[in-house]
Amino acid sequence: MESESTKPEESQPYVAQLIAHQEDLRAFIHSLLPNSPSADYVLQNTNLVLWKKQKSFKQGTNFHAWAFKIARIQVQHQYDRAKRETRLVFSESLINHIANAATVNIPHERTLNILESCMNKLNDKQRHIVDARYTPGESLELHGKQTNTSPGSLRISLFRIRAILRRCVETTLAGTPS
C-alpha cells in the first residue's frame, strides 16, 4: 500500500490540505447528491481514494481541483451504482454541468449569503413551495393537499423558482467582486 511507506512527517502537508478542503468537498458532493443518504458515503470513499493517491499528488499544484476531480469520479461511481439498482434521476450531462459549476472556487459562505438574499426576493407563494420541497417532513404532495394544488403543478412552479434563483445568484456573482 502506498501510504504505508510514507513517513508521518512527509504526510503532514498533505493531511493539512485534505483537512482544509473537507467542508468544500462535503458541500460539493452534497450539491451533486442533494438529499441523498449516500453523500456521506461518497465523501468517505473520496477521502479514502485521496489518501491512497497521496503519492501521486504533486505539492505546489492545485489540490482543490485535484480533490474535486476525484470527488466527481466518486459521485459518478455512486450514480452508476444507483443506476444499476434503480432508475437514474439526473442525466450524466446534468451531473457534469452541476459539477463544472460547483468547481468554481467561490467561498461557500458567500454563495449561501447570495442565495439567501435571492430567496428573500421570492413572493410568499414561491417561498412556501420551496419550503415544502426542502423542509424535512414536508413534501410537495402534502403542500398540494393543503393548497388544493396538484403536485405536478407545484413541480413545474418549483422548476421555475429554481431558474429564478439560479439567475439571481449568477447575476449577483457576476456583478460583485470576489
Specify the CATH number for the domain of residue 166: 1.10.10.10
Q: Which of 105, 125, 154 is the last residue of a domain?
A: 105
pLDDT at res. 64:
87
Given this model, what pLDDT does residue 115 score?
Answer: 86
Q: Residue 105: how many CA atoms within 13 Å on its side-chain side? A: 8
Can you give the pTM of this predicted structure? 0.46
Looking at the structure of the chain, the number of domains it has is 2
Same domain, 111 and 88: no
Q: Return per-residue pLDDT of the chain as tens, 178 residues.
A: 444 455 555 678 888 888 888 998 998 888 888 877 888 999 999 999 999 998 888 877 888 889 999 999 999 988 888 777 655 456 667 777 777 666 555 566 777 788 889 999 999 999 999 888 888 888 888 889 999 999 889 899 989 999 999 899 888 887 765 4
Last residue of a domain, one of 105, 131, 161: 105
What 30-38 contacts at long range (C-beta under 8 Å, 24+ apart), as own/partner pairs, is: 31/98, 31/102, 32/72, 32/75, 32/95, 32/98, 32/99, 32/102, 33/75, 33/78, 38/78, 38/82
All cell numbers assigned to 45: 470513499
Q: What is the pLDDT of residue 78?
A: 87
Domain housing 134: 107-178
